[in-house]
Amino acid sequence: MNIPIAGVSATPDPSALPGSNVLQQIVNGVDAWALAITLIGTFVGAAMWAVASHTSSHHYAAKGRMAALTSAGAALVIGAGPALVNFFAHLGATAR
């Protein structure tokens, strides 16, 4: 016995729920704070890398380099996040 399954659909609409504008403001604020924190991490890591390299402290130079590059990578992910989410949402919407 085959039971037909009703088709479902979803259309994202940011204005469909009350408080959506507040949620968007929260997302924008968290995004700004996250980018500010990665900028601070990049500055601190680069400074640590420079000072440690100058004082021949190879271990701390490597730690500073890793901190600077990790912070820069995090900024890349934060900046590309909305585009990645939209890309995969669009990809998922075309799936059958």
Q: What is the pLDDT of residues 60-81, one digit of tens each?
A: 999 999 999 999 999 999 999 9
What is d(CA 17, CA 44) in angstroms, rounded to the nearest whole number?
Answer: 41
Mean pLDDT of 32-61: 97
More confident residue, 20 or 1: 20
CA proximity to 96, closest of 13, 11, 9, 12: 9
Mean pLDDT of 78-95: 92
**How far apart are the C-alpha atoms of 4 and 24, rounded to whole Å?**
38
pTM for this one?
Answer: 0.77
What pLDDT shows up at residue 56? 94
pLDDT tens-digit readout, 4-17: 667 777 788 888 88
